[in-house]
Amino acid sequence: MAGLQQTNSEKILLSWVRQSTRNYPQVNVINFTSSWSDGLAFNALLHSHRPDLFDWNAVVSQQSSVQRLDHAFNIARQHLGIEKLLDPE
């Protein structure tokens, strides 16, 4: 799978995510796999569009990636109607 080229749609989506999270120095989205594992990218994407939903600094200070992922998935479900399709573990 690593050798497959990205489609134009994937490149456009990756570019949009990078643009949306550019003001978050802790976040560096370079792909659709490892860039998401610490939970910061999910939270930054949510916060960039709805900063009223949570305090970004509180998320950054959470110690585990599981906590940060769980936070993002719960915010998305509760406030945006996006079902939790992934398990943080």
Mapping DSSP onto H, E and C, the string for 5-68 reads CCCHHHHHHHHHHHHHCCCCCCCCCCCCCHHHCCCHHHHHHHHHHCHHHCCHHHHHCCCCHHHH
Instruction: Give me the residue spans of the domains in the chain.
Output: 30-88
What is the model's pLDDT at position 85?
75
> Looking at domain 30-88, which CATH architecture does it have?
Orthogonal Bundle (1.10)
pLDDT at 1: 45
Contact 77, 42 (CB under 8 A): no
Task: Report the predicted TM-score, pTM, of the whole model to 2 decimal places.
Answer: 0.85
What residues contact 51, with CB distance under 8 A and at least 6 apart? none
pLDDT in single tens digits along all 89 residues of the chain: 444 556 778 889 999 999 999 999 999 999 988 999 999 999 999 999 999 999 999 999 987 999 999 999 999 999 999 888 766 77
In this prediction, residue 8 carries a pLDDT of 79
